[in-house]
């Protein structure tokens, strides 16, 4: 059997099963950490949104396609773990944010240390206020404006501080499991 015949074709070859498994494991670990360890190590009672940091880092590393898929499933996983909240809302917000990060990353300076940190800061601000606005519009019981601003501000700070630790790990996973580029003639 030739090497060409043994290689999977189509979308699986482009995405890669190992890559899907690695990204899924990374997101699940982020969810578990966010709801256990980080939920206890809060900053003034606020939990960092590690799933969002992972999604943005993946979008920054691998582009908008990977970002959109990871953002949707990462957000949906978080939604499904939240009781009495609007399922699909976090998925929608993370999908849009990850797409924007994936699109704008080409304008970031190559090998810049600050670029992913800046991307996470801006993405977190958009995601936090975007989620709050949509949740209020859809009639979810909500806290006061002052509380929302306090939470959003602290999450932006916390996520920004986490990025220098999370981004190298995510980039290592992304590089390790990125499939060979498939050329079709």
Partner 1 sequence: MLLLAFVALSIAVVTLDFRQNSGGPIKRARDVTVTVVAPIQRGFTTVTRPVGSFFSSLAELTNLRGENERLKARLAQAEADADGLPQIEAENEELRRDLELKKSWRTMDSVLAPVISNSPSNYKWALVIGKGKRQGIRVDNAVMNSEGLVGKIIRVDRNYSTVLLLVDPAAAATARVGDLGDSGLVEGNGGGERLTLSSIDVTSDVSVGDEVVTLGRDQGIFPPGIEIGFVAEVGGSAAALERLITVEPSVDFKSLQFVTVLLETGDELQPKKKAK
Counting residues that bind partner 1 (by CB under 8 A) gives 56
Among 12, 17, 41, 133, binds partner 1 (CB under 8 A): 41
Phi and psi (nearest 5°) for 143? Answer: -85, 180
Quote the tokens at residue 8. 């999977």
Q: Is 64 in the site for partner 1 (CB under 8 A)?
A: yes
Among candidates 173, 185, 179, 184, which has minimal Cα distance to 14? 179
Q: Is 43 in the site for partner 1 (CB under 8 A)?
A: no
Alpha helices in the chain (DSSP H): 3-6, 10-15, 17-35, 37-40, 50-62, 64-81, 89-104, 114-137, 145-177
Query: In which residue are the tokens 């909240």 written?
Result: 85
Q: Is 133 in the site for partner 1 (CB under 8 A)?
A: no
Q: Is 21 in the site for partner 1 (CB under 8 A)?
A: no
Phi and psi (nearest 5°) for 44? Answer: 50, 40
Among 13, 15, 22, 80, binds partner 1 (CB under 8 A): 80
What three-state secondary structure class fits 169?
A: helix
Among 15, 22, 46, 117, binds partner 1 (CB under 8 A): 46
Name the minimum Å distance from CB 109 to partner 1. 25
Radius of gyration of the chain from its Cα atoms, rounded to whole angstroms: 17
Q: Is 10 in the site for partner 1 (CB under 8 A)?
A: no
Closer residue to partner 1, CB minimum distance, 45 or 109: 45
31 close to 48: Cβ distance less than 8 angstroms = no
Q: Is 125 in the site for partner 1 (CB under 8 A)?
A: no
Q: Is 78 in the site for partner 1 (CB under 8 A)?
A: yes
Closer residue to partner 1, CB minimum distance, 51 or 173: 51
- Rounded distance between C-alpha atoms, residue 118 and residue 88, angstroms: 26
Q: Is 26 in the site for partner 1 (CB under 8 A)?
A: no
Contact positions vs partner 1 (CB under 8 A): 28, 31-37, 39-42, 44-47, 49, 51, 64-65, 68-69, 71-72, 75-92, 95-96, 99, 131-132, 135, 138, 141-144, 147, 151, 155
């Amino acid at each position: 059997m030739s090497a060409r015949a043994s290689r999977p074709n189509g979308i699986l070859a482009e995405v890669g099963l190992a890559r899907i498994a690695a990204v899924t494991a990374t997101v699940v670990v982020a969810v578990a950490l966010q709801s256990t360890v980080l939920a206890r190590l809060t900053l003034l009672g606020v939990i960092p949104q590690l799933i969002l940091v992972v999604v943005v880092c993946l979008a920054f590393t691998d582009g908008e396609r990977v970002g959109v898929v990871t953002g949707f499933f990462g957000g949906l996983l978080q939604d499904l773990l939240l009781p009495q909240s609007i399922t699909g809302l976090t998925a929608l917000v993370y999908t849009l944010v990850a797409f924007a990060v994936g699109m704008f990353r080409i304008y970031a300076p190559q090998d810049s240390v600050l670029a992913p940190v800046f991307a996470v800061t801006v993405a977190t601000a958009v995601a936090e206020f975007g989620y709050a606005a949509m949740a209020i519009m859809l009639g979810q019981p909500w806290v006061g404006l002052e509380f929302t601003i306090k939470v959003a501000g602290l999450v932006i700070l916390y996520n920004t501080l986490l990025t220098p630790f999370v981004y190298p790990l995510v980039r290592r996973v992304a590089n390790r499991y990125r499939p060979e580029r498939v050329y079709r003639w």
